[in-house]
Structure 1
Amino acid sequence: MNETELAGAIDHTVLGPETTLVDVKTVLDEAEEYGMNACIPPCYVAEADEYAPDVPLATVVGFPHGQHAIDAKREEAVVAWDDGADELDMVINIGRLKSGEHGAVKADIEEIVAAVPIPVKVIIETALLNDEEKHDACRLAQEADAAFVKTSTGFADGGAEIEDVELMAEYLPVKASGGIGDYQKANAMLDAGAQRIGASSGVEIVEDFRG
């Protein structure tokens, strides 16, 4: 993998509760300079699309806990797409998954996939699931025609783990996210089968690769 390919696999991310428009513009500037994608809060998507129209732009739906009503998630997805998002990262309803309500979890994903003509990545929050639940979540995302499964929001204890990426890659392309702060960790995730990396340390990862 060369630098261009690595940078293109990174979703350079800022999603904290104190994120300002200045923070978002900084991430967009860095993403544009290094050839990365950007992942930002939904409230800034329209401004981000106007500020940096050439940066591939992802935002989040049902973030970070996934327990929004389905109608609210669908509307959030449609607004994000209308505002200029190129991809959506949605959080499953983890409580319903853990309760065995698989039909509700699948319907939740299907609503978002059907609502927008852009790729939907499904965040399953691996740190909160056992292996059986991880398999169930990935299978449901696959059946609902999601484009990716994603390990983590970054807001639960624990982030991306190699074993989880390997498990998830059996079903769909994987976005590994959470705790990936350098090239060594990013490369390990890519070697395990991830096709995308979500990280607030995108610049550090690329600079580490250069070094």
Structure 2
Amino acid sequence: MDRSELAPLIDHTVLGPETTWADARTALEEAAEHGMNACIPPCYVEEATEFLEERDANGDVTLATVVGFPHGQNASDVKRREGVLAWKAGADELDVVINVGRLKAGADDAVAAELEELVAAVPIPVKVILETALLTDEEKRRACEAAVAADAAMVKTATGFSDGGATVGDVELMSEYLPVKASGGVGSYEEAMAMVDAGAERIGASSGVEILEGAPESA
């Protein structure tokens, strides 16, 4: 897969706790320059939308942000409201963290209902972050089933804020249910292609530029 084919699959990400607007703007500039998507903190979505409009890149960069990030333990109505605010501010996609504790306690219906509320509240794709490093395979399957029941667009491996990230095995398992975004620890072209070969349709990475630099310029 060459750079032009891989770039639209990458969500170029900056979500650390010290992220400034300047950091988010740099990620947007790099995404626009290289043909990637961008994933930034929700507090900067409005500025990002205005920035992309000024650059005439609003239709070229898919702008994603996060909900219930990074632990997923917000109240359900808070997650729904957060998603609505992000959409109204200009977000094109939402990445929401499931409530891992509720899933582990067997409250699958509550997990699915929370996701369903968010999906129903916005007209944009919702990706569900499982935080796979914290789950058994059986729990991963139940989380994927909850995402399917909620009519989510995609499932995502990890936030990057817990131990562990995307693995080939997890991507293969999750792709049985929905399109997969492999995120967490993907830092090179080779690692990105391993995820794509396993079934990932999107890559979340803070090193999107480095990944593309490792890709062949043309097939």
Distance 2:10 2:181 in 1: 9
Distance 2:5 2:81 in 1: 33
List structure 1 runs of 4+ shifted beyond 2 angstroms: none
Distance 1:10 1:123 in 2: 16
Matched, 1:41 2:4: no
Distance 2:90 2:83 in 1: 11
Identity across matched positions, percent:
69
**Partner AA of 1:7 in structure 2:** A
* Structure 2 counterpart of 1:191, from 197, 209, 215: 197
- 3-state SS of 1:63 partner: coil
The residue number in structure 1 matching 2:14 is 14
Distance 1:173 1:15 in 2: 22
**Which consecutive residues of structure 2, in runs of 5 or more, have no partner in the other structure?**
53-57
Deviation at 1:5, TM superposition (A): 1.9
**Partner AA of 1:46 in structure 2:** E
The residue number in structure 1 matching 2:55 is none
Deviation at 1:143, TM superposition (A): 1.1
* Structure 2 counterpart of 1:114, from 117, 120, 124: 120
Deviation at 1:159, TM superposition (A): 0.3
The residue number in structure 2 matching 1:162 is 168
- 3-state SS of 1:209 partner: coil
The residue number in structure 2 matching 1:72 is 78
Distance 2:185 2:137 in 1: 20
Distance 1:117 1:130 in 2: 32
Matched, 1:98 2:85: no
Matched, 1:133 2:139: yes
The residue number in structure 2 matching 1:142 is 148
Asked whether the equivalents of residues 2 and 216 of structure 2 are also in contact (C-alpha less than 8 Å), the reply is no
Deviation at 1:16, TM superposition (A): 0.2
Distance 1:47 1:5 in 2: 29
Asked whether the equivalents of residues 2 and 215 of structure 2 are also in contact (C-alpha less than 8 Å), the reply is no
The residue number in structure 1 matching 2:210 is 204
Distance 1:101 1:19 in 2: 34
Deviation at 1:2, TM superposition (A): 3.1
Aligned-pair Cα RMSD in Å: 0.8
TM-score with structure 2 setting the length: 0.95
Distance 1:197 1:25 in 2: 20
Matched, 1:61 2:45: no
- 3-state SS of 1:210 partner: coil
Distance 1:45 1:210 in 2: 32
Deviation at 1:4, TM superposition (A): 1.7
Question: CA-to-partner distance for each residue in 1:40-66, whole Å, 9 max, x for gaps?
Answer: 000000000110123210000000000
Deviation at 1:120, TM superposition (A): 0.2
Distance 2:113 2:9 in 1: 29
TM-score with structure 1 setting the length: 0.99
Distance 1:86 1:10 in 2: 15
